[in-house]
Amino acid sequence: MDGADRSGEGLAVEERIEQRIGAWPADAGEARALQERLAPLVRQEALDTGAVSLVAGLDVAYAPGDDRLVAAAVVLAAPEWEAVDSATVVSRPRFPYVPGLFAFREAPALLEAVAQLRTAPDALVCDGFGLAHPRRFGLACHVGLALDRPVLGVGKTPFVGRADAPAPERSSWTPLLDGGEVVGRCLRTRSGVKPVYVSVGHRVDLPSATALTLRLTPHYRLPEPVRQADRLCRKRLAAA
């Protein structure tokens, strides 16, 4: 009754992250070492995507002038994917932008936004990558381990690896290969439109991540949750 086991309530987000995924890195070297240490903890498992009814989308917008950023988390409900909950957080980057260390920049604010949600999503979608990362531990993996929930990453441009162009029809895909390893899929979410790159974050496997991404793209190239989160953080940034 003294709050010793209140699951991190009242703690700073960075402290909660430390509880879940380790000490906060002081520099890029430590950050890379942390990723290498955590990468083996990512679990790939089948997800019953048909049973998924609440999906959260995560995204961040940056202020042009100062160093403010706004992180947004939006929860959408199947089957129409209308927004049922959302939260935004105004923060500052705690890490410089370094390709491959992207998560140290955005994850703290994103996790804080997720913590403010009143609805627990069945799965989350990040604007970025998971295993399709130099050390197999991108943003979606950071978020997945921190929350211990199913998370997948959907990127707009390739980062690591290469893939042949998938056929022009929606739902066609090709493996994203890096060093002879399948790290994700290049997936056509809309016929005749530039494909996206799907990868595993945590507690989901590639087939499930692909199926869920297709279910989340009934109208546009990017998953509906990510689009909504993008809209919200931009709007919040303009208002602030």
Partner DNA sequence: GCGACAG
Partner DNA sequence: ATCTTGTCGC
- Binding residues vs DNA (CB under 7 A): 59-62, 64, 97, 99-103, 127-129, 133, 138-140, 153, 155-159, 234, 237
In b/e form, how buried is each residue of 6-30, taking b as 16+ CB within 10 angstroms? eeeeeeebeebbeeebeebbeeeee
* Rounded-to-integer distance, Cα 160 and Cα 164, Å: 13
CB of 88 to DNA, least distance (A): 13
CB of 222 to DNA, least distance (A): 9
Strands 82-91 and 69-77, sheet pairing: antiparallel
Closer to DNA by Cβ: residue 100 or 223: 100
DSSP H helices, the chain, are 13-21, 28-38, 102-116, 139-147, 206-215, 224-239
* Rounded-to-integer distance, Cα 6 and Cα 229, Å: 29
Closer to DNA by Cβ: residue 77 or 174: 174
Contact between 202 and 150 (Cβ < 8 Å): yes
CB of 4 to DNA, least distance (A): 34
The identity of residue 36, as a single letter, is: E
Strands 181-187 and 123-127, sheet pairing: unpaired
Closer to DNA by Cβ: residue 59 or 122: 59
Helix (H) or strand (E) holding 110: helix 102-116
* Rounded-to-integer distance, Cα 173 and Cα 131, Å: 17
Closer to DNA by Cβ: residue 94 or 234: 234
Closer to DNA by Cβ: residue 127 or 224: 127
Closer to DNA by Cβ: residue 106 or 122: 106
CB of 18 to DNA, least distance (A): 19
CB of 60 to DNA, least distance (A): 6
CB of 96 to DNA, least distance (A): 9
Tokens of 61: 């917008």
